[in-house]
Amino acid sequence: MEAVKDMNSVLVRLALAAAVVATTTPALAQESKNLVATKTDWSVFTDDSPKECWGVSSPKESVNSRDGKPVSVRRGDILLFVTFRPGSGGKGEISFTGGYPFATGSNVTVDIDGKSYELFTEGEWAWPGSAEADSDLLAAMKRGSNATLKAASGRGTETKDTFSLRGFTAAMEEAEKRCK
């Protein structure tokens, strides 16, 4: 039952974030009751039931390839999240959805300024494997300028999504402050 509740929370966050991040006009972005701040390339949202605060961004560039050749593929929302919950001690939890089911048993590689980090995958989602890995990646994202995530789909497509980290630290500070 708890897993279903957690998945519903993730789905609600995904829908709200996708609606705002995908919006091209500020007026539409302001319609969401859950959007509380925009910090350059990152948006901050809150939800009260259960209490959660998160920063989210969409990639600045996406490249899809198969057998080393660029291909056009259909993907759902591509989003990078950091979620905070009251009582978590300010520790953000990183998650990524690539807009497709990842290849079974595959990992997502995150590159920040030449250093690599691994995320494990399940379905369309990927996460660091431990609280320590979350903390290390979060610290790197605060120092970095871009995060490039490489992954493989269940159909054999290789993807490379590059996220700007401009505004990331300010967005994380805002999300953490709202969930204390």
100-138 tens-digit pLDDT:
999 999 999 999 999 999 999 999 999 999 999 999 999
Query: Model confidence at 50, in pLDDT bands (50, 70, 90)?
Result: confident
Query: Model confidence at 87, in pLDDT bands (50, 70, 90)?
Result: confident
Cβ-based neighbours of 152, under 8 Å, separated by 6 or more? 102, 103, 106, 158, 159
Residue 44 has pLDDT above 90, yes or no: yes
Q: What is the reported pLDDT for 164?
A: 97
Helix, strand or coil for residue 63? Answer: strand
Distance CA 158, CA 39 (A): 30
Q: What is the reported pLDDT for 20?
A: 41
Query: Model confidence at 90, in pLDDT bands (50, 70, 90)?
Result: low
- CATH says 2-178 is which class? mainly beta
Residue 162 has pLDDT above 50, yes or no: yes
Helix-helix angle 131-143:168-178, to 10 degrees: 130
Q: What is the reported pLDDT for 33?
A: 64
